[in-house]
Structure 1
Amino acid sequence: MRIGKLYNKYKDYVLFNKNILISGIFAFFAGAIFTQFFSEFSSDSLSNSIVTLILEYCVYIPIFSYLFYLDNKSRYVDKETGKKNYNEIRTDIKKLIAAFAISETIYSVSKVVLHYQLLSLGFIEPYQTSMIASIIAWIIFLLVINLSIKAVHLFKSK
């Protein structure tokens, strides 16, 4: 019974992190495959790191957005009228942008620096460099994004 209460209290955070992890897994593997492919055509480690990061965002953002919408669409509907509350939607979008701006900047810098450094060393395969850099950057990102969504009060306390 305690686990159920704990889950209900933090349900929004659990779903938020689930969405991040699912979309992140897709981006993770897309990045690993792409960085290996890119390395066959160019030995420029910095270009590989940056282009892989861009591809990861092209995969991550749409998936996360869709999953977040699915989990939260009922929050934006007025229960009495059944109409969408566009003010609440705009407010949450601003909060999401604020939280993600900080955490994604930290993720992007750490991912590119780690990816570049590992590629430059040249002792592991390019796909492995992408995976190692992503895992380390994701750990940092998850800490920062959770602190950020708490700071901007994205979810109302229950």
Structure 2
Amino acid sequence: MILGKNLLPIKKYFEKYKDYILFNKTLIISGVFAFIGGALFTQFYSYFDTNSFSNSVVTLAFEYLIYLPIFGFLFYFDNKHRYIDRRTGKKNINVIKSDIKKLIAAFAISEIVFSVSKVVIHFELLNNQIFEPYLASMIASLSAWVIFLIVINLSVRTVRLFKSR
């Protein structure tokens, strides 16, 4: 039973920040898929085009093609209970619209920060030919992700995506 008492603060913390923890889990899972896909794609793309800037931009677009659908699916899956009206049992379109607006607001700044930092770092690493393209993509992604995670979490708190209902 000592173990159970030691886990109580962790359980309280998880309950208090459950929405933020699930949100970050979703970001990380979708980001991992985009990260791997981007590394493979940039290496493949480098065989056909040696322009570092185009490689950086096209790889970023490819990563978004992977990231956005996975994020959308996982976010909805984790939060679908919030979109059902408890009285009627039907979808509450107003809550869905509100969350979409808040997500767009939170992601707008965060994605700009991520995109610019990712492309600049990726371009510089490719241009200086320090690393293979796949490794340059991975380093740029990890660096941009650290910045992105800080900005997105601050943005989500600012727009109150997970305020108490």
1:148 and 2:155 aligned: yes
Cα distance between partner residues in 1 of 2:121 and 2:79? 34
Question: Structure 1 stretches (4+) deviating beyond 3 angstroms?
Answer: none
| 1:30 match | 37
- Output aligned runs, 1:1-158, within 5 Å: 1-157=8-164
TM-score norm. by structure 2 comes to 0.94
Equivalent position amino acid for 2:68 in 1: I
State, as a whole percentage, how many aligned pairs show the same letter.
63
- List alignment gaps of at least 5 residues for structure 1: none
Cα distance between partner residues in 2 of 1:140 and 1:77? 34
Equivalent position amino acid for 1:131 in 2: M
Number of aligned residue pairs: give it.
158
Cα distance between partner residues in 2 of 1:95 and 1:157? 15
Equivalent position amino acid for 2:136 in 1: T
SS in 2 for 1:41: coil
Cα distance between partner residues in 1 of 2:32 and 2:55? 19
SS in 2 for 1:83: coil
Deviation of residue 156 (structure 1)? 1.3
Larger Rg: 2
- List alignment gaps of at least 5 residues for structure 2: 1-7
Deviations 1:70-105 (A, max 9, x none): 000010101111011100100000000000001000
